[in-house]
Structure formats: C-alpha cells, structure tokens
Amino acid sequence: MESSCSSMTCNYGTEFVRVDVQASGIAVVTIAKEPVNSMDLAMWVQLDRVLLALEADNSITAIVFTSGLKRDVFSAGNDLMELYAPKTSPERYATFWVAQNAFLVRLHRTRLVTVAAIRGACPAGGCAISLCSDVRLITPEGTMGLNEVQLGIPVPKFWGLLMGRVIGPKVAEDVLLSGRMVSAAEAKLLGLVDDVVPADKLIEKAVVAARRACEVPSAARAATKLLLRDDFCKAWEGFYPTEPEYGWKFLSTPSTIAVLEGAMRRLSSKGQKQITLPPSKL
C-alpha cells in the first residue's frame, strides 16, 4: 500500500478510508463509503492495511475511528451481499469472514490507543469495531448493538463474548438474544459506551480522550493492554477460521435467505442500495 505523508496528514490512497494525522500523533481514520458504510471484503482489507501501516509508524500513538457519511451512520455493518447465499459462495464467505476477524483481533490488541467516535447508528460490524476499541463515544441520537439475530443469523461467538466482557455476560446475553439496538442513553448506562456527546463536538472529544489515554507511558500501557487481552485474542484467532462452515449453514437456509431478502428490499426502498435479487425470489 503506497502512502503519501506529511507531519500533519497521511493519505494512504484507499478508496473509502481517509487518514489524517495530527501533530500529536493521533490518526483520525474516517470511513466514508456512501450511503451507510457497508462493510464488504474490500473494506475490511483496507482497514486492516491502514491499521498495519499506522502500527508500523512509531510516531503514531492513537487512532480515532469515525464516519464521513452524509447521514448519521457510523457503519450499518456487513454488506448484506457478502451474506446473501444466492449471490456469493462458501469460499468467498470464508475469505470475507477471515479478513474481517483478522482485522478485529488486530484492532483489539493493538499497541495504539483506539477510540470509536460513533455518529448515529452502529449495528453489527460497526458495533464490533467499536467493541474492539479502547474508548467509545456516541452521539445522542445514536444506537448500538449486535443485531444479527434479527436477520436470522447467530451472533459471532467472540463478538458476543467481547460484549460480555464490556457490559457483563448476563446483560449482554439479554441484548444479544433479542437482537435489539440500544439507545445512546442506555448504552452509557450499560457501559457499552463511555460518554454521549453532541455531534459537533464528537471528533474534538474523541481526540481529547485519545490524548488523555496517551499521557501514561506508552510501553507500559501497551504491555498491560496485551496482558489483559492476549489470551482472549489468541482464543478468538483459533476459533474464527472454523466459523465460516458453521455460518454458511445458516446463510444458505431458505429462512435466512428470505429474511435477508426482506432486509435488502427495505434498504432499496429507502434508496440506500440497489439490490438485484434472483427472479425466482421476487
């Protein structure tokens, strides 16, 4: 991945991910794939390459993830076309799944301070990115959750376990089994986010939070973070390559296909994405 950098900005040349590096060494990573930051294979690969590049730069101390969309959406989660069995394959899905989780594991244990600046809706894959971050800030109208059950798909095991580590197993189980999205206020109450801040102050507050976290000796902070998370991440790494076969069994069932088709039609009716479904399914 080629890059063109100065002391203040760094353009990694990706189509949907912009990186702006402040003088303090805080990289603001803006994801802008209209209309809803749907996460396909290419997006997960781009994010992983950006994270690797930032980790390799010793001048970088922190990352703030944010959305550059026109509407109030952090990320609508995985691109449904990566999950819709008639339009993909077991092999493509396995590649997609491994790439996605490789990035999430790397993010969760990175030496860098990580902050998710969540503007608006943050379901599924967007929620996973946020859960893997050290600090989470959300705007008042925001919602957050792993809502896979509502789409007829099981919540990925380690995504659910990670939510349990953040807000407690019993509370997480209630949220996960219902597939519901929680409001910003409830997310703050549960500990799912650290604070609720106005949209016009979101990036400012996120940078302040990152800078504050960087005030302690970086090596000691990174080592402690790794000690706390490495066993979990190693277990996650050992498990996610086995998930595609299990997941594909659900994705290829008629009931799940029907639920995903309904979701895609709703998105199309809202003008979010044009979906062409097989004629036999219409």
The confidence score (pLDDT) of residue 61 equals 97
User: Sign of dihedral through CA atoms 160, 162, 163, 165?
Assistant: positive
Rounded distance, CA 116 to CA 36, Å?
16
Q: Residue 71 class from Cβ within 10 Å (0-12 exposed, 13-18 middle, 19+ buried)?
A: middle
* pLDDT of res. 224: 98
Res 13: pLDDT: 43
Q: Residue 231: CB partners within 8 Å, gap ≥ 6? A: none
Peptide bond into 154 cis (omega under 30): no
What pLDDT does 129 receive?
97
Cα distance between residue 26 and residue 178, in whole Å: 37
Residues 6+ apart with CB under 8 A from 215: none
Q: What are phi and psi of 142, to 5 degrees?
A: -70, 155
175-191 as b/e, with b when 16 or more CB fall inside 10 Å? bbeebebbbbebbbebe
Supply the pLDDT for residue 138. Answer: 98
pLDDT at residue number 3: 38
Q: What confidence score (pLDDT) does residue 266 get?
A: 82
Residues 233, 105: Cα–Cα separation, whole Å: 6
- CATH superfamily ID and name for 4-281: 2-enoyl-CoA Hydratase; Chain A, domain 1 (3.90.226.10)
Q: Dig out the tokens for 228 from the structure.
A: 């706390």
pTM over 0.85: yes
**Cα–Cα distance, 67 to 111 (Å, whole number):** 23
User: What confidence score (pLDDT) does residue 264 get?
Assistant: 85
- Residue boundaries of the structural domains of the chain: 4-281
What pLDDT, on the 0 to 100 scale, is given for residue 271?
A: 54
pLDDT at 270: 64
The model's pLDDT over 223-238, given as tens digits with 9 standing for 90+, comes to 999 999 999 999 999 9
Q: Which residue ranges in the chain fall short of pLDDT 50?
A: 1-9, 11, 13, 273-282
